[in-house]
């Protein structure tokens, strides 16, 4: 049962439209298992499911509820690749290793789709994703990317002219689109809850309202919670932006970033169809981007306005509505039934930060706003490593990551200043 005063899920359309799981019991006393997992989001749940199916005894500790963090609040866009460009990975690892990681991201997308089908997770998956430029320089760069992805990565993408895009998207704002048929979108919280159901059916024990306060490394590492502790052969740290001092070395390499999403009232099938005729997800090519898609009940879900200061932007509702109306003037005055936010974690280079803290302590973080498919891949690779096959996870562990400058006191103001420059560049260049 949930403890007195437990908050449950923050208000959102996701929480309002998902079928909740019964609250899982708080950890009490000392428990033993093969693998202890910190965090019941996509990474932790996917790792737990794969490990349980391989015969391991797994316990997951969640500070709030399943999918309470980024996994239950994100934009729902599942996109092949990572939070950084392939050119960044090439610079960090070389072309051959960058190709290995890209192919793994394609595998991660296939795993996501297979997981949904195999476990019959009702998360309203839809195919298709469009990346849309607002300026000529962005269009030129995207068209170059299409050629490079086909020639160097054997990955087919389509360029749509402005007229072709307009046949699917009811907005005159964009100059064309890169269309990716292999990517898509889903209901994020429903997917997390479905993963949890599949994991529990495989034997995983989940304890909600059990925040990990301390990780003690050793031959059998221990996760300490307020009313109990778990001793295990292996630990998986999958807390991302919500570690709260448990692993300072990891926290120094990520920055929590707030992101915000609004859900309009139900528009009806006819009006919704005029906005996005083929049901694809869309994001623009700005650094401070807007992204949007339709829900299964014919709402527009519109996201953007990232905050790097840990505080919501002032006048958020009005800002979000003006941005939505800039894309879709036909929705002027419609507004939002729901408006919510949450944290994602970014690394300095936006590349994924996955690997080991110790011989028997694994982690994954730094999805940089691109984690719906990649987080499941991370969980799968960690499960493989714990089961004795670590070479695929090691490919990510070779990426070098540096702490954010400024320490705890100054790194947020420094990042806010840097992001102000990027927003100015979006506007002027």
pLDDT per residue as tens digits for the range 40-82: 999 999 999 999 999 999 999 999 999 999 999 999 999 999 9
Contact 264, 334 (CB under 8 A): yes
Residues 412, 420: Cα–Cα separation, whole Å: 12
CATH topology (fold) of 126-183+256-344: D-Amino Acid Oxidase; Chain A, domain 2 (3.30.9)
Strands 255-263 and 300-307: antiparallel
pLDDT at 418: 44
The per-residue pLDDT for range 291-328, each reduced to its tens digit, is 999 999 999 999 987 776 566 778 899 999 999 999 99
pLDDT at 419: 46
The per-residue pLDDT for range 346-394, each reduced to its tens digit, is 999 999 999 999 999 999 999 999 999 999 999 999 999 999 999 999 9
| % of residues, the chain, pLDDT over 90 | 85
Contact 184, 124 (CB under 8 A): no
Q: Could you tell me how many residues make up the chain?
A: 429
Domain boundaries, the chain: 126-183+256-344
Contact 260, 339 (CB under 8 A): yes
pLDDT at 4: 52
Whole-model pTM: value is: 0.93
Q: How confident is the model at residue 405 (pLDDT cuts 50, 70, 90)?
A: confident
The per-residue pLDDT for range 8-42, each reduced to its tens digit, is 899 999 999 999 999 999 999 999 999 999 999 99
413: pLDDT strictly greater than 70? no
Closest CA to 194 of 374, 7, 46, 27: 46
421: pLDDT strictly greater than 60? no
């Amino acid at each position: 049962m949930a403890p007195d005063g437990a908050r449950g899920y923050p208000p959102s359309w996701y929480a309002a439209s998902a079928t909740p799981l019964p609250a899982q019991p708080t950890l009490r006393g000392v428990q033993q298992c093969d693998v202890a997992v910190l965090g019941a989001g996509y990474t932790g749940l996917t790792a737990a499911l794969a490990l349980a199916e391989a015969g391991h005894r797994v316990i997951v500790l969640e500070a709030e509820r399943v999918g309470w963090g980024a996994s239950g609040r994100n934009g729902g866009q599942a996109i092949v690749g990572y939070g950084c460009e392939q050119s960044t990975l090439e610079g960090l690892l070389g072309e051959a290793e960058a190709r290995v990681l890209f192919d793994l991201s394609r595998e991660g997308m296939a795993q996501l789709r297979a997981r949904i089908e195999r476990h019959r997770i009702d998360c309203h998956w839809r195919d298709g994703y469009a990346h849309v430029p607002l300026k000529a320089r962005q269009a030129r760069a995207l068209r170059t990317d299409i050629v490079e992805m086909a020639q160097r990565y054997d990955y087919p993408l389509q360029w749509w002219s402005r007229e072709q895009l307009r046949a699917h998207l009811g907005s005159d704002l964009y100059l064309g689109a890169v269309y990716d048929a292999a990517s898509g979108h889903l209901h994020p919280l429903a997917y997390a809850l479905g993963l949890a159901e599949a994991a529990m059916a495989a034997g995983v024990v989940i304890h909600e309202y059990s925040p990990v306060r301390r990780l003690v490394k050793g031959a059998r590492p221990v996760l300490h919670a307020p009313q109990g502790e778990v001793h295990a052969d292996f630990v998986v740290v999958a807390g991302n932006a919500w570690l709260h001092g448990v692993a300072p070395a990891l926290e120094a390499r990520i920055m929590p970033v707030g992101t915000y999403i609004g859900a309009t009232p139900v528009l009806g099938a006819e009006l919704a169809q005029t906005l996005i005729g083929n049901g694809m997800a869309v994001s623009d090519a700005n650094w401070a981007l807007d992204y949007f898609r339709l829900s299964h009940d014919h709402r527009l879900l519109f996201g953007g306005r990232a905050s790097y200061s840990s505080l919501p932007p002032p006048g958020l509702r009005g800002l979000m509505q003006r941005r939505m109306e800039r894309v879709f003037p036909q929705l002027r005055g419609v507004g939002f039934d729901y408006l919510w936010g949450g944290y994602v974690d970014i690394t300095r280079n936006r590349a994924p930060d996955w690997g080991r803290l110790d011989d028997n302590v694994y982690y994954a973080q730094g999805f940089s706003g691109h984690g719906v498919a990649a987080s499941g891949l991370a969980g799968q690779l960690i499960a493989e490593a714990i089961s004795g096959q670590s070479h695929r996870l090691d490919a990510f562990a070779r990426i070098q990551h540096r702490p954010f400058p400024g320490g705890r006191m100054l790194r947020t103001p420094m990042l806010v200043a840097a992001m102000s420059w990027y927003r100015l560049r979006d506007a002027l260049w």
